[in-house]
Amino acid sequence: MIQHENAHKFGMVVDLDKCTGCGSCMVSCMAENNVPFKEDETRKKDSITWMRVYKLTNGKPFPETEVVYMPRPCQHCSGLGDHGHSPCVSVCPATATDYGYDTGIVSQIYTRCFGCRYCMGACPYHARYFNWWDPKWPEGQENYLSPNVSPRMRGVVEKCSFCYHRYQLAREKGYMEEREIEENEYQTACTTACPAGAITFGDLNNPEHEVTKIVKPDPHPDPMNKNVVGKSRNPKVFRLLERLGTNTKVYYMSEREWVRKAGDNYLDGEWDKRKNHHGSSSDHG
Amino acid sequence: MDSALIPEGAKRCAFPKFMIGMAVVGAVLLWGVYAMFLCWFKGLNQTNMNDYYGFALWIWADLAVIAIGGGAFFTGLLKYIFKIDELKNIINFAVIIGFICYSSALLILAIDIGQPLRGWFIFWHANVHSMLTEVAFCLSCYFAVLTIEFIPNILENRQLNKVPFFHHLAHNMHGVMAIFAATGAFLSFFHQGSLGGVAGVMFGRPFAVREGLLIWPWTFFLFTWSAAAFGPCFTLLVTKITEAITGKKLVGDKTIHLLAKIAGWMITTYMVAKIIDTIYWATVTAPSLGFSLSHFYTNNAFYGYWILIAEILVCGVLPGILLIMKSTRENPTTRLVAIILATIGVCLNRWVMVLQIMAVPVMSFDTWALYIPSWQEVATTILPVAYGIMLIAVAYRYLPVFPQELELNKSAKAAE
Amino acid sequence: MSEIENKAEHGSMDGAGECAAGDPKDDKGLGLGVIFFMVAFLVCFLSGWLLFPKLLYSKHEQPFNFDHELHTAEAGDCESCHFLREDGTWSGIPNLASCMECHTDEPMGETEDEAIFCEEYVAKEKEVPWFVYSKQPDCVFFSHAAHINGENAAGKMDCKTCHGPIGESTSSRPYEENRITGYSRDIWGKNIWGFKKHSWDRMKMDDCANCHVEMDGHKGYCFQCHK
Amino acid sequence: MKIDRRSFLGLGLGAAAGIAVSPVGVKLTDDSSIWTQNWPWTPVPEDGEITYDPSVCSLCPGSCGISVRKIKGRPVKIEGADGYPVNNGGACLHGIAGLQYLYDPSRVKTPMRKNGNRFEAISWEEAISIVAGKLADIRTDGAPETLGVITGSAAGSMPALFKRFLDAFGSPNAYEMPSLEGNLQLTAATLHGAGNTIGFDLENSDFVLSFGAGIIEGWGSPVACFKANASRKERHAKLYQIEPRLSNTAAGADKWIPINPGTEADLALGLCAVLLSKNLFTQGNFTGGFQKFTAVIQKEYSPTRVEASTGIPAADIEALAVAFAKAKAPVAVPGKGRGDHGQNLKEFAAVQTLNALAGRLNQEGGAFVMAQPEYLSFPEAAMDEIAEAGAGKEKIAGSVNKLIEDINGSDKPLLNALFVHNANPCYTLKNTQRVKDAFKKVPFVVSFSSFMDETAMEADVILPASTFLERTEDVPAGAGLPKSVIGLATPQVDPVFNTKNPGDALIQVAQAMGGTIAESFEWETYDECLEAVAADIWDSLSEEGSVVVAEGVPEGTPAVDVSYLAANPTSVEMKGEGDFTLVAIDNMRLTGTIPAASPFAIKTVSDKVLSGTQTVVEINPASAKGLKDGGEAIIATEQGEAKVKVNLNEGIMPGVIGMVKGLGHTFDNPYVAGKGVNVNDLIGPVIEPGSGLDAAFGIKATLKKA
């Protein structure tokens, strides 16, 4: 690991109050990243969707029922204490996935992966998918495949890359014009596709970027759990399974309390205690 | 017709009878081999694994055979390092069983990975942070050691032994075996442990994650310990089965009782550690992540509390006690019950540490995932069993595996 | 002494007996065995070193000879044909259109190669199916911009460092392709063990990594060069 | 010299040793793994220069601007076009997946002729001459009026061209498929006079009262609606959703008001009644007997009566009416789901009247009454006497649904020939069997479809159309928008198969027929035709890619003719019996009309909607009666029955079964067809008197364990 003085930390925040569950992000991701498809994609446990939209309900009976949709890309964990040992990276035996300390993005190299699937077991978000089949496209359809993302072969794991190739291309332009790239030059395919504008993507280390303004990540470890770093100081913003200390870089935002509660696991009655604490801690934010 | 190869003075069944037996088991073996090739050529879509069950039956089988194969290193350790000479009567067999278990483990791994031809990346591009890397290295090294430990026994085959070179090689290898035993024990400590670590380090999986010492979670030490404790039980079990099939007494009671006693104490001490670990995890680790014990055991009948009770009490504490108490230990029936329960117990533990981890949902809105293996998975998992039976049969028939065999069966001879 | 060892001793005795009986024949057999061993060893050893590398690669001639020296003399340095596009992506081998900025279907010189070019490709408006010596596999993302337009010294490399003195070549050498992997031989390098004398003798990931370690003290993260 | 075992041993060992100390082992190990990294059967997309070209998506009435990313001219990705007046950046999943339609396995790759019950490929020349020949016969028989045309919509130059063909041919029988735009125009015609349409200024309204309109499920111009809806959060604007089911729109709304299926009109009129009785309404220029209207409405739709039919407490109705009237910029929106099929004029008129009473016509954030865009000017069509004669004849029916009914009803063929363009009636209209029967009764059916869909399979000749990515076309933007935008779709890639722009095909047919018909089509190509007829806006259209012909709040307060409602039209009744009401659901990830959803879109569909090849229906646990979640069941209506799976869902009224539209396609595409049931096979049409609309919002059904 090397220290980058001006390292980026790309992340996103999803406004769940705006998300309509329309699926544009999912399809944009598939089209952008050459994700294959099969005849039967209703077995969701072997259906490759780097971006998956979960449907959450508040579990109340008619007519108090409420529903919210939660888009889930790879969370790009930076691991316990924000040290870059994400659950998957630390377990990959062949270094087929690594943590980019310069971007905060968790890579996946299909040609290095030999398909042991340890990383999938280690990921609590089910963000990693295995190519159980050889990818096949109906005749002629491979014509729309993009050269910026290499198609995967059978027997390897794949996952969301925060559209890293878009970063690569943006940087090429940057080099050409001998300048740093702008916030809007590197945006993921799901972000640009979302018709509701529910997704905000950018550099969490850059106070100018919209995502940082919304999330207000706390650089200091959470006093309640030293493993947790980058907790949001916005009381409406939360992360998935934050308590595990995975330190994801995908944040979620909602006005609804039950939604924020659904983001993590709590013992009976624990939520109310923490909620209040969160409230207080959010004041200085 | 093959009498020239059979150890001198030893009685073996007629060759045709032997071959028929082999053919039957061989058929099962071929079935497994067929399934294996299906998986290699068509890919892992032949299995019922999915993105929730990246680890399944195979990894369980792997962990299980390595655990029960632990008898080899532990017995070796006792015989050559702690100089418990009595165990020389069973050491050969322990080594053969270990050899079978470890070769099976490697074979299953070779089927389990999505890109077998890239398997060597785990060595070439090793990631030192990964428990699996540690496993791969120690596993293959220890397999080499087992092979070396097995060789002298092979060379003692009546015909091979006639070649002076082989004879002396075997003789000298016996001499230096202590070194290999030591190496084996060392390697085993690490790969048994790192297999435990595989689960323990998954901090995204509250059912698996454990705190620990330095880089090693408690499961690391628990796995090593359990392998040392339950491995010998399996050795005893297989010995018992072989005796039953051959209708001969092959290992003296003194040896059996001794090994059983050692296993008994190992199991009991292990269970103490395991129970402490479980309590700490259930009351401290999991709750700190927002999970109550009931979350893991009350969703469905298959992964209910029964599995916890079965593993810890019925197949853990009970056999431990049965084996440390002289009366029950020296009573063949209770001893048999004990070693069977013990073997089940360790396999159950490995099952839980692989499949239940995958079954338990972590995200509050996620669902439990249950899985049934495909026939290809089952066949490839039975394959090693068939292979093991055949190897034991051949070894028993042509190698002087059991030093005591002749003396223990003199009476029988005399009677003829 | 354990019973096994007893038996062993005994076994070896009659073993020795047999040996004594058949000494002469045995020796000859053994000798013959040694000879066979030597022969087989030599054959396999040599074919492994000499024949195998030949069999491993298939040779392809380029559609026609290309005289880099001539073109650099006429058109200027590498960048005049191999350039960065405005968006910073690399144009690679010029397409027919850019060739036709100078060429017409009327040859300028007398070389038969140019004649072929004009008749077969310019006239028929067909792209030239060049074999690319430095072709990297699909999983690689290589940014020429980063290496020639980058910030520090590392970002100002010259073509030669990786591509060698191809600019001085007057004819196109045959393209060699690994029959198993489909890689150009230039990736692994001429030498079958992959030893290299010059920086451009090999184009494997290790070569990138080594240079990166030298230049920025770190071989970089996977996604820097993979897609 | 004797060669014995040992010699062979030596040979073997020697060979092994020799290989071992040579590079063979290492190299083969390495290369074999590299081989797996470059398997020849794993595609390697060709790299090249990246370019972006603008166009317009015409997959749905939304008409969003798109930007097509290309590599060396090869399209690889469709994205929403920034700054386009309709969608400004965003795009829906169907548009993004648009490239999959180019290479769809069910594309019609070349002209086809039905021979017996199978199709055979023919040349364009042959196809054109066959069609021209048949049509000529019809004219010589002196029955030109027996040629009919069904188009997907009435908007744009393509339908106009077909209409023109009918004029020149001599037939009045032009029909459009039901659409939100059509319903809005009909409503406008009924209340504000012909030639108008209605737009809803959602992005400026602070209180949207939606009568089941799937504002985030494909209603109107989807992406524009998504954006307007998303902006509510910053604007603190409210959305109340009135619907029997917790749709995504209801889920995203501030309030979900469950209502008995099909009683939306009653509620709208009930709200009117409250406004009238509480004197909360604005005096606009109401015509057609406002007193009578007031009296009738207050009598027939008093809160208590409306409570009885809608199931919404009278108190809530009054409160809702007051809240609506008191809001700063409220607007009421009609059209259940996507607002196209299964709608009734009564509801549309009632909701628009509510807007009128609340004084929301032509107000910012209200409902705009706008003139239909007139940007096309065709020269007068030349007509010979046959044409004159035929054109004088009476149109067979008022709507496509009525047409089907009449064709089936009559013993002699009402139509001798039928053109179908940009429509799939044999899948989209209710009781598909009835539609197929009608098609069988038409001797000669010509399909202009791009895909071998349910209707194309009923055709005698198929003149395959290029997709929206392969052809030029003017695309008037979507229904319900508060502005009117004309976009220009341009070819992004040469036709992948032997297909033509339907406009070109039609022109060639016309020219093949000669005479006045040919005279009426004196263009070389469709592109030339479009440039000519859209001359007024062509320059900016071809340069900008779009033209905004009307924007902002329209002038003046339009007249509102309440006579239709004053006559208190009868509400349509649901057919059949059974203790459940089956309603069709619009799901954003599927398409109810054409084309069918793409493989990518299908992939996103929840396993609570489609499971394997079975449709999953929603019912409330309270009415499950022993049915298990995920269990199989038989759903039966008077139209037919189907095996489905059950999803116990608290988000739907007890007694209602929700079944998604867009499944159960039967053509040859394993990725999208052969999955689930087509809800239109289970629901039959109910024609609303007066409007001729198919108003069947649902049907009575039974659900039993399978």
- Chain segment D618-645, per-residue pLDDT in tens: 999 999 989 999 999 999 999 999 999 9
For residue D15, the enclosing domain spans: 5-37
Q: How far is CA B17 from CA A56, A250, B158, in A?
A: 64, 67, 22
Per the model's pLDDT, the better-predicted residue between C176 and B170 turns out to be: C176
Give the residue carrying structure tokens 């200024």: D201
Could you state, in order of their start, the residue ranges of all structural domains in chain A? 10-281
Q: Is the predicted pLDDT of residue A36 greater than 80, yes or no?
A: yes
Partners of residue D602 in chain A, C-beta under 8 Å: 41
Cβ contacts of A107 on chain C, cutoff 8 Å: 221-223, 226
* Lowest model confidence (mean pLDDT) among A190-199, C186-195, D35-44: C186-195
What is the residue type of D293? F
Determine what percent of chain B is predicted with pLDDT higher than 90.
Answer: 79
The CA distances from residue D306 to C97, D311, D312, D357, D700, in Å, are 74, 8, 8, 18, 21
Amino acid in position D328: K
3-class secondary-structure state, position C77 = coil
Sign of CA dihedral C118, C119, C125, C128: negative
Q: How many CB pairs under 8 A join B and C?
A: 39
Task: With beta carbons under 8 A apart, name residues in chain C contacting D8.
Answer: 36
Helix (H, G, I), strand (E, B) or coil at C203: coil
A–B interface: beta-carbon pairs under 8 A: 163
Q: Is residue D603 part of a domain?
A: yes
Helix (H, G, I), strand (E, B) or coil at D174: strand
Instruction: Measure in Å the smallest separation between the Cα of C42 and chain A Cα atoms.
Output: 36
Question: In this complex, is the C-beta atom of A67 within 8 Å of any C-beta atom belonging to chain D?
Answer: yes
Examine the pLDDT at B161 and tell me if it is beyond 90.
no
pLDDT averaged over chain D?
95
* D286 and D224 share one domain: yes
In this structure, what token pair is assigned to residue A37?
A: 């498809």
Q: Which helix (H) or strand (E) holds B99?
A: helix B88-112
Comparing A16-25, A132-141, B171-180, C129-138, the range with the smallest average pLDDT is B171-180
Task: Parse chain B into domains and list their residue ranges.
Answer: 49-371
Q: Average pLDDT in the D314-323 region? A: 97
Helices assigned H by DSSP within A48-188: 118-122, 164-176
Give the closest residue to A212 by CA, choosing from A221, A200, A220, A224: A200
3-state secondary structure D595-617: CCCCHHHHHHCCCCCEECCEEEE
pLDDT of residue B158: 86
Structural domains in chain D (count):
4
What DSSP character marks residue C218? S
Instruction: Taking residues B303-324, report their average pLDDT.
Output: 96
Of residues B271, B374, B379, B365, the one with CA closest to residue B318: B271
Which pLDDT does position D445 carry in this prediction? Answer: 97
> Residue for token digits 């009924």?
D190
- Asked if D79 lies within 8 A of A192 by C-beta distance, the reply is yes
Give pLDDT tens digits for D15-64: 999 988 888 999 999 999 999 999 999 999 999 999 999 999 999 999 99
Residue A285 has pLDDT above 70, yes or no: no
Tokens encoding B56: 């399944």
Q: What is the mean pLDDT of chain A?
A: 93
Among residues D320, D341, D371, the one where a domain terminates is: D371
Q: Give the chains touching D; criterion: ≥3 Cβ pairs < 8 Å.
A: A, B, C
The token pair that represents B233 in the structure block: 């039980």
Whole-angstrom CA distances from A40 to A25, A35, A47, A143, D598 are 21, 15, 9, 22, 13
pLDDT exceeds cutoff 70 at D68:
yes
Q: Say whether C130 sits in a helix, a strand or coil.
A: coil
| D28 and D75 in a common domain | no
Inter-chain contact A62–D653, Cβ cutoff 8 Å? yes
**For residue B90, what are the CA distances in angstroms to A57, B240, B336, C82?**
61, 12, 17, 74
Q: Are D195 and D563 in contact (CB under 8 A)?
A: no
The 8-class DSSP code of residue D694 comes to B
Q: Which of D44, D90, D97 lies nearest to residue A194, judging by beta carbons? A: D90
pLDDT at residue C109 in the model: 84
Task: Give me the residues of A, 96-125, that contact D with CB < 8 A.
Answer: 110-111
CA distance D513 to chain B (A): 58
Q: Does residue B400 have a cis bond before it (omega within 30 degrees)?
A: no
* Dist. CA B178–CA D243, nearest whole Å: 81
Q: Residues near A237 by Cβ (< 8 Å), separated by ≥ 6?
A: A13, A214, A215, A216, A251, A252, A253
Give the pLDDT confidence score for residue B411 in this predicted structure: 61
Report how far apart the first and last C-alpha atoms of chain B are (Å, whole number): 22
State how beta strands D461-462 and D112-115 pair: antiparallel
pLDDT at A281: 41
Indicate the pairing of strand D546-550 with strand D484-489: antiparallel
Q: What is the DSSP letter of D294?
A: H
- Per-residue confidence band for C154, with pLDDT thresholds at 50, 70 and 90: confident
Q: Strand D632-636 and strand B212-213: pairing?
A: unpaired
- Interface check for D89 against chain A (CB to CB < 8 A): the answer is yes
pLDDT, mean of residues D188-212: 96
Q: What is the mean pLDDT of residues B69-98?
A: 92
CATH class, A10-281 region: alpha beta
Task: Please determine, for residue D188, whether its predicted confidence score (pLDDT) is greater than 80.
Answer: yes
Q: What CATH fold (topology level) applies to the domain B49-371?
A: Formate dehydrogenase/DMSO reductase fold (1.20.1630)
- CA–chain centroid gap for A140, Å, is 32
Q: Does B403 touch chain C (CB under 8 A)?
A: yes
Is residue B176 over pLDDT 90?
A: no
User: Pick from A93, A123, A132: which is nearest to B136 by CB?
Assistant: A93
Crossing angle (nearest 10°) for helices D400-409 and D432-440: 60
The per-residue pLDDT for range B211-226, each reduced to its tens digit, is 988 888 999 999 999 9
Cα atoms found within 13 Å of the Cα of residue D142, Cβ hemisphere only: 2
- Same structural domain, D271 and D200: yes
pLDDT attached to residue C2:
39
Percent of chain C with pLDDT over 70: 86
Residues D94 and D9 in one domain: no
Residue type, D689: P
CB interface of C with D, residues 134-173, below 8 Å: 137-139
**What average pLDDT score do residues D378-394 get?**
92
Whether residue D86 is contained in a domain is answered as yes
Q: How far apart are CA D79 and CA A24, in angstroms?
A: 10
| Residue A87 reports pLDDT greater than 60 | yes
Sequence-separated contacts (24+) of B290-293 with Cβ below 8 Å = B290/A243, B290/A264, B290/A265, B290/A266, B290/A267, B290/A270, B290/B206, B291/A265, B291/A267, B291/B206, B291/B207, B292/A267, B292/A268
On chain C, the residues whose CB falls within 8 A of the CB of D9 are 33
Q: What is the pLDDT of residue C18?
A: 39
> What token pair was written down for D115?
């021979």
Within C66-225, strands assigned E span: 175-178
Residues B140-147 have a mean pLDDT of: 92
Percentage of chain D with pLDDT > 90? 91
Tokens of D638: 């008077």
- Residues C47 and A155: their CA atoms lie apart, in Å, by 35
Average pLDDT, chain B: 93
Measuring CA to CA, which residue among B99, B50, B45 is closest to residue B72?
B99
**Is residue D671 assigned to a domain?**
yes
Contact C91 D32 (CB under 8 A): no
Residues of C in contact with A100 (CB under 8 A): 221-224
Residues D85 and D32 both lie in one domain: no
Q: Which of D371, D393, D418 is the last residue of a domain?
A: D371
